[in-house]
Amino acid sequence: MGNICRSPTAQSVMHHKLQALGLGSQVQVDSAGTHGYHVGSAPDPRTQAHATKRGYDMAGQHARQIEQADFARFDLILAMDRANLARLRQVCPALHQAKLHLLGEYGPEQEPFEVPDPYDGGASGFERVLDLIEQACDGLLARLKLPVPPPA
């Protein structure tokens, strides 16, 4: 939504995993919010602290809002929850609607899951977000037939 918690976490996790596979320069990973609440801000300090404990680097990330050009530029656009997915569907051109999915579609569970927003919660919420994002990123790599690197 605001691009300071979940999305930058997913960007960092996937970038880390791609780097471990030697694909960091071949695959572009970015994050954006559906709203412009925090444009230009660094990721939430709590998000950064929990990600750093697991070996993920968020240095240089700044919140931005999704742009029309993103729908053409990226092959896959993943939302953290159904509300943000609905917002993306409202602004995405018909030609690119098939690129829109929940990140949780790539998790190990049968049903797609939402990644909850940890913003108003405590430390356990940020850890849960990391757990879910790591699982979904591993699932996406597996779906793409790429090896899953060892944990950070």
Torsion sign, CA atoms 12, 15, 17, 19: negative
At residue 145, the pLDDT reads: 86
| Low-confidence residues of the chain: pLDDT under 50 | none
At residue 56, the pLDDT reads: 97
d(CA 91, CA 18): 29
Q: Give the global pTM.
A: 0.94
At residue 136, the pLDDT reads: 97
Architecture (CATH level 2) of domain 6-143: 3-Layer(aba) Sandwich (3.40)
At residue 43, the pLDDT reads: 98
At residue 152, the pLDDT reads: 66
